[in-house]
């Protein structure tokens, strides 16, 4: 599914982060009599788990509005499947984890409150195998389960409690935008800054240890971690500007050695290459990097030299490059062969759906997706492609039913609400359209805009309808969410 997010043109400030900071400061002042242990997962003297969830939700809405997220159901499905396969083998899991991809060639990954983990596309394309990628995700999962962000705030507050609010802002910025965050942190005094560095190294050591356990217990090769560390060290050893990941995840030689020693304590696993991983890398290259014509040339050359772990990944990348170059028949030929081998592979299904739609072969797309919808109901790749195909075919009621059912189980799904807004627009249902658009704004943390949309939806709704009652209730909910941050 080729999806383009229609975001409002806004300049996002750190207002939500500041609100989070104020809440953290108040919480610390009320509870600082409880001493934080230096190890373990507790950090309740600074933040409760409930407050972490609230802050994490607020941060995620800001991230959606301000960062170039890859709103791609296929890649979202892949990274969440991989990430949650690791979470299942982690301890002290207090949240439902959410993994997302940022369209950025910088090598970086970060975790923040509430189990939200972001991965830059450049990190995925740099990894040579799935164990390397999994090692980074496991490390970030460990940061969350060990509550390192809350513990860092507690450690900083011991040396400079009067700057806790600014420290929250700086730490969160450092995770999402390392250069800006490090500049904010540099304003702290020298003693506090040194304490922060030491605590970060302690966090990294613990996350490496816990992450290795998660990686091994999930069936991946333990050498994925030291191999990735070694690769990063070699690549950036002599560069004046390190990648974003090394600003927030220092990589001294001792850490690489420790990782290698830790991996040697486990049996090495010679795992076969992952087709899904190879397809994800090919998709990123073909859809988010380079020029379509250049990509066609490169994929053809690499296929000729047999450079792919799976030839299917090269053919898939070539098909996507043909599609991007509007050579739809060539793309269809390749995808037909791939689907013949893997009829339920969602990477291929998604690409074939787009190819059918561009050629106005709506019935073929709907037939293919109807079968898969029975096989995988409410799978985001199948459902969103099915609904999108129904929109193209003018079957708006089908699209509406699919999306409404999907949103019952996935109430914060940005793409689904954006598609539903489009369906209502085509159906000329202004009340429902504005109500759906309000949900899109809310997921970007723009509650005033969301409330304005709901007022417009209310004005279009018929008198004394259930729709009006629902709109009024939703306005109250959005007002309460906005006020909740202010009260913390």
Quote the distance between the C-alpha of residue 308 and its chain's center. Answer: 27
> How many of the other CB atoms lie within 10 Å of CB of 35?
9
* Sign of the CA dihedral with 203 first, then 209, 215, and 220 last: positive
Q: Is 143 annotated as a binding residue?
A: yes
**How does DSSP assign 207-248, residue by residue?**
HHHHHHHHHHHTT--TTHHHHHHHHHHHHHTT-SS--HHHHH
According to DSSP, the residues that pair with 119 across neighbouring strands are 101, 109
Nearest CA-CA partner of 211 in 134, 271, 326, 159: 134
Q: Is 370 annotated as a binding residue?
A: no
Tokens of 20: 């989070």
CA angle 40–46–52, rounded 5-degree value: 85
Q: Is residue 208 flagged as an active site residue?
A: yes
Tokens of 476: 């109250």
Which of 72, 132, 206, 208 does the annotation list as catalytic? 208
Element at 138 (helix H, strand E): helix 130-145
Strands (E), 270-421: none
Tokens of 49: 């788990």
* Packed helices 130-145 and 148-159: angle between N→C axes, nearest 10 degrees: 50
> How many of the other CB atoms lie within 10 Å of CB of 61?
22
* Sign of the CA dihedral with 413 first, then 414, 419, and 421 last: positive
Q: What is the DSSP letter of 344?
A: T
Contact 170, 181 (CB under 8 A): yes
Which of 98, 140, 206, 227 does the annotation list as catalytic? 140
Q: Is 148 annotated as a binding residue?
A: no
Q: Which residue has the tokens 């990944």?
A: 313
Q: How far apart are CA 119 and CA 110, in angstroms?
A: 7
Which positions are annotated as active-site residues? 140, 208
Binding residues for Zn(2+): 139, 143, 204
Residue numbering of the annotated binding site: 139, 143, 204
């Amino acid at each position: 599914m080729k999806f383009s997010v229609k975001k409002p043109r806004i300049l996002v400030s750190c207002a939500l982060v500041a609100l989070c900071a104020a809440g953290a400061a108040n919480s610390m002042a009320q509870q600082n009599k409880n001493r934080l242990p230096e190890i373990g997962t507790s950090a309740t003297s600074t933040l409760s788990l409930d407050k972490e969830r609230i802050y994490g939700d607020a941060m995620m809405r800001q991230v959606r509005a301000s960062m170039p997220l890859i709103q791609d159901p296929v890649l979202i499905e892949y990274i969440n499947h991989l990430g949650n396969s690791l979470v299942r083998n982690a301890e002290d899991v207090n949240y439902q984890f959410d993994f997302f991809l940022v369209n950025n060639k910088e090598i970086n990954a970060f975790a923040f409150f509430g189990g939200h983990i972001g991965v830059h596309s450049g990190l995925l394309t740099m990894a040579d195998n799935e164990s390397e990628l999994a090692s980074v995700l496991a490390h970030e999962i460990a940061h969350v389960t060990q509550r390192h962000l809350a513990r860092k705030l507690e450690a900083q507050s011991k040396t400079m409690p009067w700057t806790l609010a600014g420290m929250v802002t700086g730490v969160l910025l450092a995770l999402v935008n390392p250069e800006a965050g490090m500049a904010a942190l540099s304003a702290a005094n020298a003693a506090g800054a040194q304490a922060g560095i030491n605590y970060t190294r302690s966090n990294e050591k613990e996350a490496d240890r816990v992450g290795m356990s998660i990686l091994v217990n999930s069936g991946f090769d333990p050498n994925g971690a030291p191999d990735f560390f070694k690769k990063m060290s070699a690549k950036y050893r002599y560069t004046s500007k390190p990648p974003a990941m090394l600003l927030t995840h220092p990589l001294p030689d001792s850490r690489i050695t420790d990782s290698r020693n830790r991996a040697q304590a486990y049996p090495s696993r010679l795992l076969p290459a992952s087709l899904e991983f190879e397809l994800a890398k090919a998709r990123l290259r073909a859809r988010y990097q380079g020029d379509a014509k250049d990509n066609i040339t490169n994929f053809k050359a690499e296929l000729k030299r047999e450079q792919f772990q799976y030839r299917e990944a090269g053919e898939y990348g070539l098909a996507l490059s043909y599609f991007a170059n509007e050579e739809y028949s060539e793309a269809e030929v390749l995808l037909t062969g791939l689907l013949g081998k893997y009829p339920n592979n969602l990477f291929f299904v998604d690409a074939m759906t787009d190819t059918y739609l561009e050629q106005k072969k709506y019935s073929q797309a709907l037939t293919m997706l109807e079968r898969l919808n029975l096989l995988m109901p409410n799978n985001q790749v199948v459902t969103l492609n099915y609904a999108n195909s129904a929109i193209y075919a003018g079957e708006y009621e089908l699209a509406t039913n699919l999306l409404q059912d999907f949103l019952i189980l996935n109430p914060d799904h940005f793409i689904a609400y954006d598609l539903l807004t489009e369906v209502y627009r085509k159906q000329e249902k202004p009340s429902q359209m504005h109500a759906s658009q309000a949900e899109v704004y809310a997921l970007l943390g723009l509650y005033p805009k969301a409330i304005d949309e709901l007022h417009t939806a209310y004005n279009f709704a018929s008198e004394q309808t259930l729709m009006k009652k629902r709109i009024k209730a939703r306005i109250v909910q959005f007002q309460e969410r906005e006020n909740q941050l202010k009260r913390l």
